[in-house]
Amino acid sequence: MEKMKRAERMVAITQVLMLKPNVLTPLTLFAERFGTAKSTISEDLMAVKGSLLLSGQGHLETIPGAAGGVRYIPEIAKEEATQFLGNLAECLSKKERILAGGFLYMNDILFDPSVLRPLGLIFAGAFRDKKPDVVVTIETKGIPLALVTAEALGLPLVVIRTGNKVTEGSSVSINYVSGSSRRIQTMSLSRRALDPQKRVLIIDDFMKAGGTALGMKNLMAEFEAEVVGIGVLVEVRITEEPKLVEGFLSLLQLKALDPDTGKTSVVPMVSF
């Protein structure tokens, strides 16, 4: 194979790292792949690190020693995040999104990879310092959002079920009051899904009264887990009624939704 020029090698190194975020890659892998010395790879990585910082796409962590290597930590630039949330709030504020019964249509947003990836990076940046061990959500609409957050943090995802699933073996179940329907419902989690005493980050798509989030916190207590953060995409704040949970982070806030007039107002809540 023809030996790569430095610029070509740096592009290839960046691609390898970005395809495996949060994964420790030994320098010997790059040295063998590109047929060059580890000292040369180290110089390339310094240049890649500077490029990532300037573009706001993340940073590199270097681990010294024989068992060390380099790890890419994905991030999103503050200006990009601000603009993205502003555009998303404007999109969700359109009157065409009002559904019968006073609900806000969000399915296309929640299943669009081009929207989900920046959201996952924003959540990851907000909660990385909390050092969670696992990301937790409840089925079903919150799963894609929680998954991209888990990927950005390099963590596993655990999904709480609504009801019991025989195929998952022994499980822990609790009853909770849904904030949207005000009905008593059941959520459960297999005992094999989550080891005890983990640090948990809860991610969900929507919060009205906070009943579901409170239920997830109570379920985590059954596993002796510590909830180090709660993140939701959209929080309803049409009235001043307090939520059932405190200390959560909402990226967007629904401040008005009137099916009669078609008025909808969604605003960003995170400042960078």
146 and 246 part of one domain: yes
**Domain end (from 74, 91, 118):** 74
155 and 58 part of one domain: no
Q: How far is CA 120 from CA 28, 76, 113, 150, 183, in A?
A: 31, 10, 10, 8, 30
Q: What is the CATH number of the domain that holds 45?
A: 1.10.10.10
179 and 233 part of one domain: yes
1 in a structural domain: no
**Domain end (from 38, 55, 74):** 74
107-119 tens-digit pLDDT: 999 999 999 999 9
264 and 155 part of one domain: yes
Beta carbons of 228 and 132 less than 8 angstroms apart: yes
Q: How far is CA 268 from CA 6, 85, 122, in A?
A: 42, 6, 12
164 and 30 part of one domain: no
225 and 144 part of one domain: yes
The domain in which residue 244 lies consists of: 78-268
User: Crossing angle of helices 113-127/78-92, nearest 10°?
Assistant: 130
Q: How many domains does the chain have?
A: 2
64 and 140 part of one domain: no
Residue located via tokens 């949060």: 22
In tens digits, the chain (272 residues) has pLDDT values of 567 889 999 999 999 999 999 999 999 999 999 999 999 999 999 999 999 999 999 999 999 887 789 999 999 999 999 999 999 999 999 999 999 877 899 999 999 999 999 999 999 999 999 999 999 999 989 999 999 999 999 999 999 998 766 677 899 999 998 766 678 899 999 999 999 999 999 999 999 999 999 999 999 999 999 999 999 999 999 988 899 999 999 999 999 999 888 889 999 997 76
**Domain end (from 29, 55, 74):** 74
97 and 13 part of one domain: no
38 in a structural domain: yes
Q: What is the DSSP string of the chain?
A: -PPPPHHHHHHHHHHHHHHSTT--B-HHHHHHHHT--HHHHHHHHHHHHHHHHHHTSEEEEEE-STT-EEEEEE---HHHHHHHHHHHHHHHTSGGGEETTTEE--HHHHT-HHHHHHHHHHHHHHHGGG--SEEEEETTTTHHHHHHHHHHHT--EEEEBSS--GGG-SEEEEEEE-TTT--EEEEEEETTTS-TT-EEEEEEEEESSSHHHHHHHHHHHHTT-EEEEEEEEEEE-SS-PPPSS-S-EEEEEEEEEETTTTEEEEEE----
Q: What is the dihedral of CA 177, 226, 152, 128, to 10 degrees?
A: 120
Beta carbons of 234 and 213 less than 8 angstroms apart: no
Measured distance CA(216)–CA(245) in Å, rounded? 11
The pTM for the full model equals 0.93
82 and 69 part of one domain: no
219 and 110 part of one domain: yes
Handedness of CA 140, 115, 127, 210 (dihedral sign): negative
